[in-house]
Structure 1
Amino acid sequence: MFFLYHLAVLLSWFSLHLAALLNPKIRSFVKGRKDLVPYLKRERDPQKPLIWMHTASLGEFEQGAPVLEALGRSYPGHQLLVTFFSPSGYEVKKGRTGNTLVAYLPMDTPGQVKAFLDLAQPSIALFVKYEVWPELFRKLRQQGTPTFMLSAIFRPHQAYFKWYGGLLRKALAGVEHFFVQDERSSQMLADLGIERVTVSGDTRFDRVGELLETVAPLPFMEAFTRGRTCLVAGSTWPEDHDLLLPFINKSPATRCFVIAPHKTDAKTIEAIEKGLDRPSVRYSLMEPGSLEKASILIVDTIGLLTRIYRYADLAYVGGGLATGLHNTLEPAVYGIPVLIGPAYEGFREASELVAAGGIAVVHTPGDFDQQCGALMEGPEKRTRMGDINHHYVQANKGASRMIVKGLQPYLEGNGGFL
């Protein structure tokens, strides 16, 4: 079984080298892994124990960050290592200083995994949400490194629960302890004979809760929104723009809009601008006075959206008409209503907030016009929906504290759950 898996990974690695010749993103993916061993040789301090957290991309990093930051505060003598699978996460977080190292995850082959673990020598390994790598998990188990899954969530459609998922089930069996988001995930693991489980909830609630206390102000947003009702549309796709742009074009001057697309390449930005009949400005081209002349701000960079939501009167979160819904908790924490497309199945917080009345679902341009228009003209309704969202986030915080408490015995040499 492992032979076929290793062969598939090696063929993928070879194919990625070919694709890297034409695709800059894949080129970063390949080059980053080639640089991994030299980076660890240069930056890893073997005199310090290492806490390692792996995430797929930026969203999962934000999910695991409250735990990693709490561990960093509690164990200042440890080094921290964050690895990413995708370039989109790595490129944003690379270059961190101090005790935190940032690198790519090695390809899941015996040679690359061994070289990585020989240098990293983690005291514990933390994998956020979905990340399971059979060879890596096997090597960690062989060398006695406790492995944990944080904010994990399991669903019947996943390979672990299919006839062909034997290798992944074997990897799960080697995990020391699971911290899962809900009771359903706990029961599904129990059906596999795995009972080393704590239902701790989702650490994303803790992450977005920190925004209220730590987010730095954005003076340009204060100037842009002053005296106007503001809709922030975040992580949007072309399908979302088909709803948004016609509504924006016919909106009165008392409204302003921020569009922060998921992709910020030139083609995407130009397509948005082409669909607008009203003055807009790109974030990258802002000049003194330019915001006062525009009613639409197009955010053509990443890393600002969570702070921009603070200035919204309501939000539209993209993906529910396209590839899958993006993070609805980031705007919800600010106590504002949220609009989404209909594809939110599998997103627990979205489903619960739709049921509670804090999130409204839109299906068509006409539906969007009616619901968004009513919210922009109805401060009482905005307040009512926003309060639902804010209280929901506050009520679900605390997962990070529970997880850190569970990890402490392993870091202090006092045993563990078993």
Structure 2
Amino acid sequence: MLFLYNIGIQLFKFLLGVVQAFNPTAKLWLKGRKNLFQKMKEEVKTGKQHIWFHFASLGEFEQGRPVLEKTKIDFPEYPIVVTFFSPSGYELRKNYALADHVYYLPLDTKRNAQRFIEIFNPKLAVFTKYEYWYHFYNELFKAEIPILVISALFRKELVFYKWYGGLHRSILHRVTQFFVQDQASVTILKTIGITQVTIGGDTRFDRVAENATNPAQFQLVKDFCAGNPVFVAGSTWSPDENLLAVVIKKYPNWKFIIAPHEIKPEKIKALESLLPAESFMRYSTLKNNPQSPVFTKKDQVLIIDNIGMLSSLYQYGQIAYIGGGFGVGIHNTLEAAAFGIPVLFGPNYQKFLEARTLIEKKAGFSISTENELLAVMDDLQDNSYRAQSGIIAKNYVMQGKGATAAILSYMHEHVFTVLPTSPER
């Protein structure tokens, strides 16, 4: 099985090389790994022990960020190295101030894993939610370097529980401690002999709660809203936008802020083609105009055509819609819930515990059709009903905090011998 795994890793790299000519993501993936170890050797102080955080992409980075930031405070003597598998994470966070080094994760081969460990000499390796790479885990285990997997979720459909999943199960046995989100994950892991498990919750709760207490401010967005009821749609895709266009036309008294998942010019133009003429404007156009805009009633839709604003935009809304639910799955619902507003999303939410819980608590609403979206929107015109849903959403986030503290407590007790340096501890 290991032989097939190694072949698969090389085949993956080969296929990226084939498609890179017409796939920008593949091109970035390969370019970012070119001469990677040479760059590491030139930039890293040899022999210094590092704390290593690995993230699949940007979403996992934001999820694990509270732990990284608290680790930096509690253990400042250890430099932090961050790696990303995906360009969407690396390209946006390659200059992250609290990391001493940020790189792409090298291809998962035995030699690459050994070289990485030789350069960074990790004191600890932390993986967020998933990303199980055989050679990296195995070489860390052999070097007796602790491995933590935080905010993890396990389901019976995953490869670990298939008859052919022996190699992947062996990866799990290399982990020093799992911090999982729920009891179901504990139970599932026990069936394959994994007992080094703590129910630690989801660190995203800590992250979104912190963000909601001190969100970034955007005066231009505030002026656009100007006391009107506001519907914020985040990380939307085409199927989401087709439905939203119907709602926009039916509720002319509402303002709509739409932050698409992709902001390529052709994607923005496709969105604009769905909207009533002269009802929309692009944030970048307004931002780059030296004159302050004067908004009128017909200015109904503000399209956010840049990255990095969404997590704070929900502060201006009374209702949130989270995209992705007509594809592989919805994006982050907790960011919106933390601001105390009801959250709507498409039908593919079953893999997300927080979405299922929001629905159970009547603070989240899943829709599959235009009529269902309009029906929910009609119900939420009742101010008291909408406010109550929002209160429930926010309480759910506040009650879910604490995962970061549990993980840091484990680090202090089982990994590090130095006394805490943070005045908060």
TM-score range, shorter chain: over 0.9
Deviations 1:173-214 (A, max 9, x none): 111111111111011111111111111111110010101223
Cα deviation for residue 410 of structure 1 reads 4.2
Which SS does the other structure have where 2:179 is aligned? Answer: strand
In 2, Cα distance between the equivalents of 1:355 and 1:410? 37
1:395 aligned to which of 394, 399, 407: 399
Aligned match of 1:5: 5
Normalised TM-score (structure 1): 0.95
> Does the aligned pair in 1 maintain the 2:69–2:98 contact within 8 Å?
no
Write out aligned runs for 1:297-312 (5 A): 297-312=302-317
In 2, Cα distance between the equivalents of 1:99 and 1:235? 27
Cα deviation for residue 350 of structure 1 reads 0.9
Aligned match of 1:255: 254
How many residue pairs end up in the alignment?
Answer: 412
Q: Which ranges of structure 2 fall in alignment gaps of 5 or more residues? A: 419-425
In 1, Cα distance between the equivalents of 2:193 and 2:231? 48
Aligned match of 2:345: 340
Which one-letter code corresponds to 2:149 in the other structure? M
In 2, Cα distance between the equivalents of 1:69 and 1:194? 29
> Does the aligned pair in 2 maintain the 1:53–1:125 contact within 8 Å?
yes
Aligned match of 2:421: none
Structure 1 residue 386 corresponds to structure 2 residue 394: no
1:406–1:115 CA distance, 2 compared to 1 (3 A): same
Which one-letter code corresponds to 1:292 in the other structure? F
Aligned match of 1:368: 373
> Does the aligned pair in 1 maintain the 2:47–2:120 contact within 8 Å?
no
Deviations 1:330-379 (A, max 9, x none): 0000001111122211211111110111112222112212221332x322
Which one-letter code corresponds to 1:121 in the other structure? N
Deviates more, 1:286-295 or 1:118-127: 286-295
Aligned match of 2:122: 122
In 2, Cα distance between the equivalents of 1:111 and 1:13? 16
Which one-letter code corresponds to 1:405 in the other structure? S
Structure 1 residue 353 corresponds to structure 2 residue 352: no
Deviations 1:255-275 (A, max 9, x none): 110111111112211110011
Q: Which ranges of structure 1 fall in alignment gaps of 5 or more residues? A: none
In 1, Cα distance between the equivalents of 2:280 and 2:71? 43
Which SS does the other structure have where 1:34 is aligned? Answer: coil
Aligned match of 1:42: 42
Which SS does the other structure have where 1:372 is aligned? Answer: helix
Which SS does the other structure have where 2:33 is aligned? Answer: helix
Structure 1 residue 292 corresponds to structure 2 residue 292: no
Which one-letter code corresponds to 1:327 in the other structure? N
Aligned match of 2:324: 319
In 2, Cα distance between the equivalents of 1:229 and 1:67? 36
> Does the aligned pair in 2 maintain the 1:281–1:290 contact within 8 Å?
no
Aligned match of 2:208: 208
Structure 1 residue 95 corresponds to structure 2 residue 95: yes
In 2, Cα distance between the equivalents of 1:412 and 1:291? 56
Which SS does the other structure have where 1:258 is aligned? Answer: strand
Deviates more, 1:118-127 or 1:17-26: 17-26
Which SS does the other structure have where 1:388 is aligned? Answer: helix
Which SS does the other structure have where 2:271 is aligned? Answer: helix
Cα deviation for residue 157 of structure 1 reads 0.4
Aligned match of 2:413: 409
Which one-letter code corresponds to 1:283 in the other structure? Y
Which one-letter code corresponds to 1:5 in the other structure? Y
Cα deviation for residue 321 of structure 1 reads 2.0
Aligned match of 2:133: 133
1:44–1:180 CA distance, 2 compared to 1 (3 A): same
Which one-letter code corresponds to 2:364 in the other structure? I
Which SS does the other structure have where 1:188 is aligned? Answer: helix
Q: Any runs of at least 4 consecutive aligned residues in structure 1 with deviations exceeding 6 A, and if so which?
A: none
Deviations 1:39-63 (A, max 9, x none): 3223323364211111111111111
Which SS does the other structure have where 1:234 is aligned? Answer: strand
> Does the aligned pair in 2 maintain the 1:205–1:394 contact within 8 Å?
yes
In 2, Cα distance between the equivalents of 1:111 and 1:16? 21
Which one-letter code corresponds to 2:272 in the other structure? E
In 2, Cα distance between the equivalents of 1:111 and 1:19? 26
Which SS does the other structure have where 1:95 is aligned? Answer: coil
Which one-letter code corresponds to 2:184 in the other structure? R
Cα deviation for residue 99 of structure 1 reads 4.6
CA RMSD of aligned residues (A): 1.6
